Structure 1
Amino acid sequence: MNFHNSNTMHVNRITINVKDLNNQKTFYHTILGMPIKYETASKLVLAIGDSGDELVLNLLENGRTAKSHEAGLFHLALLLDRVEQLGAFMRHIDSHNIRFGGGDHLVSQAIYFNDYEGNGIEVYVDRAFSEWEWNQENVKMDTLPLDVAGILQHAHDTIWEGMKTGARIGHLHLKAADLENGKKFYESMGFKLVSTFPKALFMSDHRYHHHIALNTWQSYSKRIRANETYGLTSFNIVKYDATTQTLSTPEGLIMTINMASNTKAETN
């Protein structure tokens, strides 16, 4: 099933302020394999697969570093089409000495690592929707050990060929300032609560396991001056019945809502 189409709300653009644009270009373009859509001396727009989704890196000189208790990015999550791709990707980043962890979440299989500036990244594949367990409006998720050997065996001799196709933004997991305020805000956008854990909640549209996640495991205050701070500064959401608008989120970030028929953000 496709949970990232024009009839389903989902994140389609993520913007991050970075200290070293060339270094991050090496990470995302050269190593991860995201094609370059647009580039200047201070901005890099990368394609995530052929979905139209984008990762934007802005060079920020003399920016501030967020305090650990400030809201912001927990991780951006990149969804691959097939488990063979995940296995090939695991071998690929291991060959570049990128350390990663993993988790089996019942609905998905995922690995986790950081970019060169500490921004969290998840790369995952979904299990078939028919395998997800629902209790009315709540989906069952967990964090179990990932069967790395099984995934690598499944991949056989599949070679990682980058993110030209077969990849997209799967979800966005945020460090929140307040879970209840965050829940109310994203519910007002149309997302529904589908799962909760201690100090964390997961929200989605059309019964996906989550398009947006929030946690307060480390954070308890809003992001201060997001545009002047390194890390996640803004993100775009596709909403099928919306007019374009830009809002400040309870996390102190900038969120732009786009109509589904106009999902590709401007690159200049």
Structure 2
Amino acid sequence: MATHFHQKPNTYVSHVQIKVSNLDRSIEYYQNVIGFKVLERTEQTAALTADGETSILSIEEVKDALPLQKGQTGLYHFAILVPTRKDLANFVQHISELNVPIGTGDHHVSEAIYLYDPDGNGIEVYADRPEEQWIWNGNMVYMTTEPVNFRSLLAIADGTWKGLPEGTVMGHIHLSVSDLHKTEEFYTKALGYEVVTRYGSRALFISTGKYHHHIGLNTWESLGGSPAPENSVGLKSFTLVLENKEKAEIIKKNLREMGYVVEYFESAPKLGGRQDFSTIDPSGIRIIFTLEGE
């Protein structure tokens, strides 16, 4: 697995925070189905980990939570990247034994399994193909959606699934946004991402360091949409790791010049690690920026 895409100097997603309606039910799902371990827990929150040390996903119970509604902006899915194709094969073998409904996609750059948690939050579990197999045409990477070859995948499974393996990271996040043009301007001009794939006029994929995508953006079900209410299930925030203080200062300057608010934290919440500053993107999605990370 090419781990350099999820290390500095790349601006990568390190952590996702989602809201759920029932913490116990969600913990059971994320442990038994997805394969996380609980790193920390409070009455309303749980930090989940693959390696026993670093949390890549936090869940928070919302009182009297409202369900997700069509047309809202927010999470399309968060994507958990396992280290090898064999890890993905063992995951598929594991969920097939649980009879969990799934979607699949062979995107040429990766093979992916799609699921929904009990609240309808979208999840992808995927493995990248070796980067030397990716096809670049100038600055654009070839991505498609074909059926996953389960025969080939399951042929390498060995029945040793014991949860998400060490080396699992938050591979990317895919967002439902309201206005693709405004969103592209925000992520490229303010945050320094590059567009690496376009799907027609309704979706685009952005990255740093020639990854196939650190962030996906689409308006398939959210064109002109509004953020979900605070007490809805769904995405609370996601965290981007910045290379250094200089990069952080450039982004803060860009945000202010483009009319976006830069917020600071009085004290960093325990869940999700250190937090330096945050902003809200054009679709009402909170992004936390940190200088932590490898």
TM-score normalised to structure 1 length: 0.92
**Residue 248 of structure 1 pairs with residue 280 of structure 2:** yes
Distance in 1, matches of 2:86 and 2:278, equals 38
Could you list the per-position Cα deviations for residues 49-84 of structure 1 after superposition, in whole angstroms to 9, with x for gaps in the alignment?
Answer: 468342111110123334311111111100011111
Q: Label 1:152 to 1:51 Cα distance change in 2 as closer, same or farther (>3 A).
A: farther
CA distance in 2, matches of 1:178, 1:143: 23
Aligned partners of 1:74, 1:97: CA distance in 2, in Å? 23
Tell me the secondary structure at the aligned position of residue 217 of structure 2: strand
The equivalent residue for 1:160 is 161
> Contact between 1:248 and 1:254, CA under 8 Å: does it hold in 2?
yes
Please name the residue that 1:223 is paired with. 227
Change (3 A) 1:13 1:203: same
Tell me the distance in 1 between the aligned counterparts of 2:207 and 2:182. 16
- Given that residues 198 and 205 in structure 2 are in contact (C-alpha distance below 8 angstroms), is that contact kept between their aligned partners in structure 1? yes
- Which string of whole-angstrom CA distances, capped at 9 and with x for unpartnered residues, describes residues 134-164 of structure 1? 0110000000111011000022x24111125
1:60 aligns with 2:66: no
Equivalent of residue 93 in structure 1, options 95, 106, 122: 95
Counterpart residue number, 2:236:
233
CA distance in 2, matches of 1:224, 1:107: 32
Answer yes or no: is the 8 Å Cα contact 1:66–1:223 preserved in 2.
no
Question: Which deviates more from structure 2 when the two are superposed, residues 131-140 or residues 246-255?
Answer: 246-255
Residues 53, 168 of structure 1: 8 Å contact kept? no
Contact 2:37 2:52 survives alignment (8 Å): no
The answer to whether structure 1 residue 45 and structure 2 residue 51 are counterparts is no
CA RMSD of aligned residues (A): 1.6
What letter is aligned with 1:79?
L
Pick one of 52, 57, 75 that aligns with 2:77: 75
- Structure 2 Cα separation of the partners of residues 50 and 170 of structure 1: 18
Q: Show the counterpart of 1:210.
A: 213
| Count of aligned residue pairs for this structure pair | 260
Letter in 2 for 1:46: L
Unaligned runs of 5+ in 2: 250-275
Q: Secondary structure at the match of 2:8?
A: coil
Q: CA, structure 1 residues 170+51, in 2 after alignment: closer, same or farther (shift >3 Å)?
A: farther
In 1, Cα distance between equivalents of 2:53 and 2:139? 28
Change (3 A) 1:112 1:175: same
Structure 1: tracts of 5 or more residues without a match = none
**Identity within the alignment, %:** 33
Shift of 1:228: 2.3
SS in 2 for 1:22: helix
Rate the CA distance shift 1:172–1:193 in 2: closer, same or farther, 3 A.
Answer: same
In 2, Cα distance between equivalents of 1:59 and 1:65: 13
Structure 1's 80 and 51: CA in aligned 2 closer, same or farther, altered over 3 A?
Answer: farther
**Structure-2 residue corresponding to 1:107:** 109
